[in-house]
Amino acid sequence: MRILLADPPRKGSYYHANFPNLGLLYLVSSLRNKFGPSVRVKYLDGLRGLEDHLRAVEAFRPDLYGLSFAYFTRNLAYDVMRRVKGRFPGLPVICGGAMPSAVPWEVLSESPADICVRGEGENTVCDLAEHFRGGRGRLKDIPGLVFRDADGKAVETALRKPESDLDALPLPPWQEV
């Protein structure tokens, strides 16, 4: 299984930042820690343009695509998701970050996102990988999600309890940034 976790590509946009997304890096290390080499995980920073971003998605050929964004980059994120879904219609698009956590129903109504993760995502993304990797479990049983069901209706699962031992989280892979 291949999982690509990304920031919206900001090069040439109204918003530009030169730092990695620490939240996504924690997700990368959590997935690698749980699954080892059976799951390939790639982090795609936001320092490229949209066409470079789409080429990187095409080259990696992920089974899951995750996008993290905040309110001020929402329009850029929505455009990226529309373009990704346009090229890869069957690719599950999972959103996380401040905006999807705060208003997942708005994200689902304004974008082609399939799933929004609410709150901390380290355990949630591992549960999602299990689900999509082998069809294990049902989305409605994974805490911390808002998603569209088969009829297009938004379904909200129970909130996930925050991690009580932050020292138990594997460190982010800074060598890849």
- Write out pLDDT tens, residues 39-59: 999 999 888 889 999 999 999
- Say whether pLDDT at 114 is over 90: yes
Question: In which region does residue 167 sit, left (phi positive, over 0), alpha (psi from -120 to 50) or beta (all else)?
Answer: alpha
DSSP lists the bridge partners of residue 4 as: 42, 65
pLDDT at position 15 is 59
Helix 50-60 with 74-87: angle, nearest 10 deg:
40
Strand order in the sheet with 64-68: 40-44, 2-6, 64-68, 93-96, 115-117, 145-148, 154-156
Q: What angle do CA 146, 157, 3 make, to 5 degrees?
A: 55
Are residues 7 and 28 in contact, defined by beta-carbon separation less than 8 angstroms? no
pLDDT at position 46 is 87
Q: Average pLDDT in the 15-34 region? A: 83
Q: Beta strands 93-96 and 145-148: pairing type?
A: unpaired
- Please tell me which residue, 115 or 18, carries the higher pLDDT value: 115
pTM: 0.91
pLDDT at position 18 is 65
Displacement of CA 124 from its chain's centroid (Å): 10
